[in-house]
Structure formats: C-alpha cells, structure tokens
Structure 1
Amino acid sequence: MIQQQNEKYIFVTGCAGFIGFHLSLRLLYEGYKVLGIDNLNDYYDQTLKYNRLEILKKDKHFTFIKGSVENLELLDSLFNQYEIEEVIHLAAQAGVRYSLENPHAYIQSNLVGFANILDCCKQHQIKHLIYASSSSVYGSNKQVPFSVSDRVDQPISLYAATKKANELMAHTYSHLYSLPTTGLRFFTVYGPWGRPDMAYFTFSNAIIKQEPLNLFNYGNMRRDFTYIDDVIESIYRLIKKSPPIDISPPYKIFNIGNHQPVQLHYFIQVLEDQIGMKAIKNFLPIQPGDVQETFADIEDIVKFIDYRPKTNIEDGLRNFVKWFKEYYNLS
C-alpha cells in the first residue's frame, strides 16, 4: 500500500459495480480515501456485488454507504459529513435492452440521480466531476470511428437518451456554475468481475453449459471491446490530471475505447479457444436499440493523458475466462 496522499475523499458512486469496484481498488492502492455508495439493486446477481464489496471493505480507507443517488437528502448529508474533493459518478441503470422493459428505472437513476449529483457538486464546490456516459449515444452513426465531435442527437434507446441528457446537464452546470465536468463514453468494457448481463459473460456461461447462445443480427456485429485495466488506467490519469478549468465552460467529453473493433464471430472463436469448448449458436435478427458497429476515436484522450490501451482481445479474454472459471469453481 502506498503512503496516504490526501485526507480528502474521492466519492465513487456505483462502487459495487464493475467499473466502480475496479476503480475503487486502484484508488485505495494509490493511497486515496474512498467514499463509496451503491444501492446494490437486483438488476443482476447481487452476490457478485456483495463479493466485490467485501474485497473493498478490507481496506480501512474505504467507507461504504448503502443508498441511491436518487435520494437527494442522503447525498446532501454525505457531502456535508465527508470532505469530498472529487466525484466519480458511475452509478446508473445500465443496459440497452432492459430500457425497453423498464423505462422508469432509467429516468430515476440516470436523470434524477444525475441531477442530484450535479447539484451537490455545485453546492459543495467540488474540484472535478467525472461521470459515465456511453458509446450508445452515437446511435446508428454510420461514420467510423466515432468521434466526440460527431452529432449525437438521434439516440435509438432510452438508455442512450439518458446518457446524452447527462452530457447536456453537465454542460449546463459547467456553463452556469463553472463546475469542471468530464464525461466518459465507455465502449463495451469487459474483464474479470464483469457484469453478468454483458454478452461476453452470457456467452461464456452458455458455452460451458453447452446451451445455445443468441447471436443477434446473425452475428454480423463489431464491437470496440475495452479491457477493464485500460479503462481504469485512463480514469486514474484523468483524476491525476488538472480538471478542465482552462476552458470555458470547464467541460470535456472523451471516448474510452480500444480503437480496435472486433468481429463478433472472431470474439466467440477466441472465447471457445480459451474455454476449450465449442459454442452452440442461435442466429437471430438485430434487436431494437442495438447497433451494428462501435468504433472509438481515442486520439483526444491519448494526447490528453499520454496513454493508449494496451490489452488485445486475446489477452483480455484469457484473463476473464481464468477469473470466470475460478469464481464459479469450474474445471
């Protein structure tokens, strides 16, 4: 453990989630005090969230609050009680397809919750708010790679619409109150301790159980898979970097991707090789809200933080499958 650097807290929302867990681990390792909040909802297997949390709780510099960002009274009390320097807002209702079934969950968590975070950051003069957006804001954009300068005003899922709304809300607070904000458009993050609702997780489960796995758009998809370690390194460097106070308004958006889209058929082939079993494939039409390809232009952030993702899909999936087999006690 590195010597404690700062008595102030970094506030990580969604700390028991996939990215929030890994980021909190990294911050604790680097000597930061972390205040984490998570509502531990049942969108996916809660056991995984509790197991992540148990690892974080082993560090004395980690403080956990069970609660929702939609609860403004709770948030305000935390900002009053703890000396928070920066906020990394990762709590959200995730998933494109689930937004078709349960739209109100997205309105509450992604809009009301984000508005609460913004207002608390303004009231308490937070040094920097870094928040999760999503590559889904690009919708069915045909121009690749996707650039942060592209128009993103035609979302094709409610989830994407809420993430674009977050960017607009952040811009407003940056403009009106000089609150430094940085939005991160994540591109298909994967790796150990990942989300069970993500394709690589469900595919692995199906291959091992020899159950059919659904390939939408008949498998003709390309995704810019981004390994969790590269994502965390990027966020950590943004935290270490001075907030965007040299521009007016103090507002930035970055793509967090690998800049190497992978054909879904090859992705499954790599999974099969790592697991040592063949997949049973069920080919289906494209689903509402899905896009055929994601591809991140990352030159802006590479220049800004002097870091380019290093993990290829073969190494990343090897690490994931190793964890997957160990976690679920699979031979």
Structure 2
Amino acid sequence: MGEHATAAGKVYLVTGAAGFIGYYVAKRLLEQGCMVVGLDNVNDYYDVNLKRARLAELMPHEGFVFVEASISDHTAVMSLFEQYKPAAVVHLAAQAGVRYSIENPDAYIESNITGFFHILEACRHFPVEHLVYASSSSVYGANKKVPFEETDFVDHPVSLYAATKKSNELMAHTYSHLYRIPATGLRFFTVYGPMGRPDMAYFGFADRYFAGKPIHIFNNGDFDNDLYRDFTYIDDIVTGIERLIAQPPTDGVPHRVYNIGNNSPEKLMTFIETLERALSKATGREILFDKIFEPLKPGDVPATYASTDRLQQAVDFKPETPIEVGLQRFADWYVEYYGVNKA
C-alpha cells in the first residue's frame, strides 16, 4: 500500500459516512482492509435515498460498522469513541452549502460548531493518532490574490458557512495546542463526481435539464468576467486524505491546514459546456441547457483557485483530474442511476 497508506486492521472513524466525500473515504479505507466506523445522521438536507444508496454499497464490507447518530449529540459521540476507540478520525460530517446558511443558520451552528466541539472533546478524552477534518475554500472569502495560499489572511468570510469552517480551524488549533491532538484541516475546493451532492450546481443543472426546466446561472451573463471555480474530482480528494491520514503533524502545535484543489480554475461557462458534452455522450443525443442568467448570489465569491504546493510537499501528490474526465464519469453515473433514456 506504499509509505503513505493507512494501516490495515486499525479502526478509523469517518463522520458523514453517508455523505459524498465520507462515502468515498470509507470505501477506500475498507478496500485497504481497515475497519471503518461510519457515523451519520442521514438528514434530509438533500435526497435521503442517495445517502442510503451510498451506505448500501458500504454495508457488505466486513469491516464496516454504521452508527446512525448526530455529531450534535454529545452523549452519542462520546459513547461511540468509548466503544470503538478509533486510531484516527476523518471528520466530514457538517451542514454544507453556502446559500443554505443564509436561509437556515441554526443548522450550521448546531452541526459545524457544536458538533465539531463534540468531536474535539472526544479526541481529547479518547486520544487519537490523527484528526483529519473538513474545512473549506470558502474561508478565503472574496480574496483577490490568487492562487489562494494557506498563509493568506482569512478573517473576512462572506457567509456563515465560511465563518463556521474558519472557526473549526481555530478550535482545532486550540485543542492541538492544549491537548497535543494531531489535527489536519483540509480546505476543499468545489468537489464533484459520481454520487455527488444534488445541491451542487453541476448536479442541479442535470436535474433541471431532465425535468424540462431551464438552469439558472448566477454570473450576470458576463462571460468576459465569468466566475472561476477550482473544480476538484472526488478521487483526487480521497487520495489526498488517504495520504495525509498517515502523516499527522508532530512539531510545535501539531495542527496543519492544507488546500485540496485542482490548482487549475475553470470558467463557470466552460464547466457548463463540458457538462453538456458529457451528458450528450452519456445519452447519445445532443444536450443543450436552456440558460437563464442572474446576478451573483449573496455569499458567492468571484473566484476560487488553490495553491497546492504545501500539499504536494507534504505527501507528494496534487489533484489533476481534468473536468472532461471527471464530468464524463459523473454523467455516465447519473444517466445509469436515474435511468435516463438513451438515444
């Protein structure tokens, strides 16, 4: 499994195991012979059937145990740590989504602040070799300097979601300082792929097209000054996590933060055109979205662009799956999963 690999036989706790990234991380660990305890509350923020479908693919693995509970339930979290004593924790459970944080702020405080606090407390009382947790590229706010580097100033979030993720980094640093918990925060950049999140734009575009509806694009129709996004394919994210798990920080305060992005931002319109081509190929007929252009939404940022130098230095890896490849895999999965008629 190589020098960066995880250790077979160890217990890994993956929170958010029914979620997009959590499912793929749990799957990779199980394939390597690790024991995985998956924790998820399987909430209805998006289609529960998709979450259940992901879990159904994990269940046959002998080393998988699923616990349906919320990280905001302190007793449940502590008893889980006491029972399974995980060697490492990959904490991916969170209330996701920038726009939803404007409509339903309570969910973000409960899950991303209180829930993360419970994970930190559990790691304090039942020491782990490494806590790897999800931060977000949204911590960079409307940062004008590109590419975004981990040393950049990130004290001006433009959404409550971003503020909770920045808070997670501060809380983790504090616990690493006080209790020597080795912790690594990962700033994810627009993760996409098969079995992804229906609340993400690319998934929603496909849903709306096949429902006979137009897609809404929040870039003012200004193609010269289009939004840029650093789209990162799921397999690259999982490889980055897998390699980092085995390398807990040791010096000084044992807390590090890394960007995980593609280091290659694409114009939103280029991404949309690539998705149209991918769905056309998957269905065998030409697919063109009916597009409605609207102003930028509150909390959205004009560009995201990850510097991946620090990640590459640490684990000799950088994401580089092109969107043509990643979106084709998504389109092929989508057409099969939803039974879309082919030409």
Q: Same fold (TM over 0.5)?
A: yes
- Equivalenced residue count is 327
Secondary structure, counterpart of 1:35 in structure 2: strand
Once the two structures are superposed, what CA deviation does each residue of 1:113-133 show, in whole Å capped at 9, x if it has no partner?
Answer: 000000100111111100000
**Alpha-carbon deviation of 1:152?**
0.4
Secondary structure, counterpart of 1:310 in structure 2: coil
Once the two structures are superposed, what CA deviation does each residue of 1:185-221 show, in whole Å capped at 9, x if it has no partner?
Answer: 0000000000000001011222333421011022521
* Partner of residue 273, structure 1: 277
**Alpha-carbon deviation of 1:64?**
0.2
Contact 1:208 1:275 in 2 (8 A): no
Contact 1:191 1:317 in 2 (8 A): yes
1:304 correspondence with 2:314: yes
Runs of 4+ in 1 over 6 A off after TM superposition: none
**Alpha-carbon deviation of 1:36?**
0.6
The 2-side partners of 1:54 and 1:141 are apart by 40
The 2-side partners of 1:222 and 1:189 are apart by 14
* Partner of residue 226, structure 1: 232
* Partner of residue 283, structure 2: none
Contact 2:36 2:65 in 1 (8 A): yes
* Partner of residue 292, structure 1: 302
After TM superposition, the score normalised by the length of structure 1 is 0.97
**Alpha-carbon deviation of 1:5?**
5.1
* Partner of residue 189, structure 1: 191
**Alpha-carbon deviation of 1:164?**
0.2
* Partner of residue 29, structure 1: 31
Can you give the 5+ residue segments of structure 2 that lack an aligned partner in the other structure?
281-286
Contact 1:216 1:283 in 2 (8 A): yes
Once the two structures are superposed, what CA deviation does each residue of 1:237-291 show, in whole Å capped at 9, x if it has no partner?
Answer: 11123x101x210010000100010101111111111122111100000110000
* Partner of residue 217, structure 1: 219
* Partner of residue 239, structure 1: 245
Can you give the 5+ residue segments of structure 1 that lack an aligned partner in the other structure?
none
The 2-side partners of 1:106 and 1:85 are apart by 27
The 2-side partners of 1:316 and 1:43 are apart by 25
- Amino acid corresponding to residue 32 of structure 1 in structure 2: C
After TM superposition, the score normalised by the length of structure 2 is 0.93
Once the two structures are superposed, what CA deviation does each residue of 1:42-74 show, in whole Å capped at 9, x if it has no partner?
Answer: 000000000100110010100000000011111
The 1-side partners of 2:169 and 2:204 are apart by 30
**Alpha-carbon deviation of 1:79?**
1.0
1:63 correspondence with 2:65: yes
The 2-side partners of 1:47 and 1:299 are apart by 38
